[in-house]
Amino acid sequence: MEEKRVKEREIIKPALKIIKDNPGISTSELIKKLQKIVELYPGDKEILAGRNDTKFSQIVRNLISHKNYNKFGKCIYEREQGRNTGFYINELGENEIQGYEKSEIKEEKLDNEFQRKVRESNDYNEIEELMKADSRIPEKMSRSNNSRYKVDPRITKTVLKKNNYICEIEKLTGEEHKTFVTNKDVQYMEGHHLIPMKAQKDFKINIDRSDNICCLCPNCHRAIHYGTIKEKRARLSLLYNSKIRGLNENKICIDFEELINNYYI
């Protein structure tokens, strides 16, 4: 098996944001800040032979020196500060970050709407009904919204109910994730698609199905959406391990790293 390492791709977005927030940042400061955000594997911490540098530092150095052929390099510029070189974001970089933010805002709005629909909806009482809903063919929302697929809030509602409105991470770790009682007289929980719905285009089988939906407390759910990569990984690996068999049984196959790299970074 290939030794696990942090990939260049994983640090592009956080590195751009760090440079934006810290104009003139040096390479070593950038490395320090990134180390707090990403999970380093033992291989990343290895010191390079004959140098006072880790493999992870090397990845960051490579990233910022690839000026001409990768997108990251085109988003930053450097300026001499005495003996050192500091990095700044340029217009292309600003646009790139704005693009990320716009899509995050869109996702956030859609998710709020979805959680509300789930709260207001009924569940599937009959297992046959649920199985039928799970196995429907993926269907696009409308012609104007070509990238979105239809979701059925009743499936998520059924999953929340099946979990007795207890956070799945609470069950997996034994920590208590208490929230509050809603006006529907149940503990407040949110539904989350482990393989996110934006991934539907990559799957023939409907991923809006009970095996792919998690019942999460808002804290865990927000961490998965807005946390550092480290926070996301910690929770997603627990959920992935508990759900992957069920997904595989329904011919939905995805590797954990693939899941993270394609849909969570």
* 55 vs 53: CA distance, rounded Å: 7
Q: 51-86 b/e with 16+ CB inside 10 Å = b?
A: eeebbbbebbeebbeeeeebebeebbbbeeeeeeeb
* Burial of 29: CB neighbours in 10 Å, binned 0-12, 13-18, 19+: middle
* 211 vs 203: CA distance, rounded Å: 15
Residue number with CB closer to Zn ion (108 or 258):
108
Residue 224 C-beta: closest distance to Zn ion, Å:
6
Cβ of 132: how many Cβ atoms within 10 Å?
11
Query: Which one among 17, 157, 192, 209 touches Zn ion, defined by CB under 5 A?
Result: 192
Cβ distance 85 to 78 under 8 Å?
Answer: yes
Residues 6+ apart with CB under 8 A from 217: 167, 169, 170, 177, 178, 179, 188, 189, 190
Residue 63 has what DSSP assignment? H
Candidate segments 26-34, 52-60, 149-157, 161-169, binder of Zn ion by CB under 5 A: 161-169
Residue number with CB closer to Zn ion (50 or 174):
174
Query: Which one among 75, 169, 236, 260 touches Zn ion, defined by CB under 5 A?
Result: 169
Size of the site for Zn ion (CB under 5 A): 6
Query: Which one among 59, 217, 244, 254 touches Zn ion, defined by CB under 5 A?
Result: 217
Residue number with CB closer to Zn ion (184 or 222):
222
Query: Which one among 16, 167, 229, 260 touches Zn ion, defined by CB under 5 A?
Result: 167
Candidate segments 4-12, 92-100, 175-183, 199-207, binder of Zn ion by CB under 5 A: 175-183
Residue 169 C-beta: closest distance to Zn ion, Å:
4
Site string for Zn ion, 220-249 (x = CB under 5 A): x-----------------------------
Residue number with CB closer to Zn ion (63 or 217):
217
Question: φ, ψ for residue 116 (rounded to 5)?
Answer: -65, -45
Candidate segments 33-41, 140-148, 172-180, 198-206, binder of Zn ion by CB under 5 A: 172-180
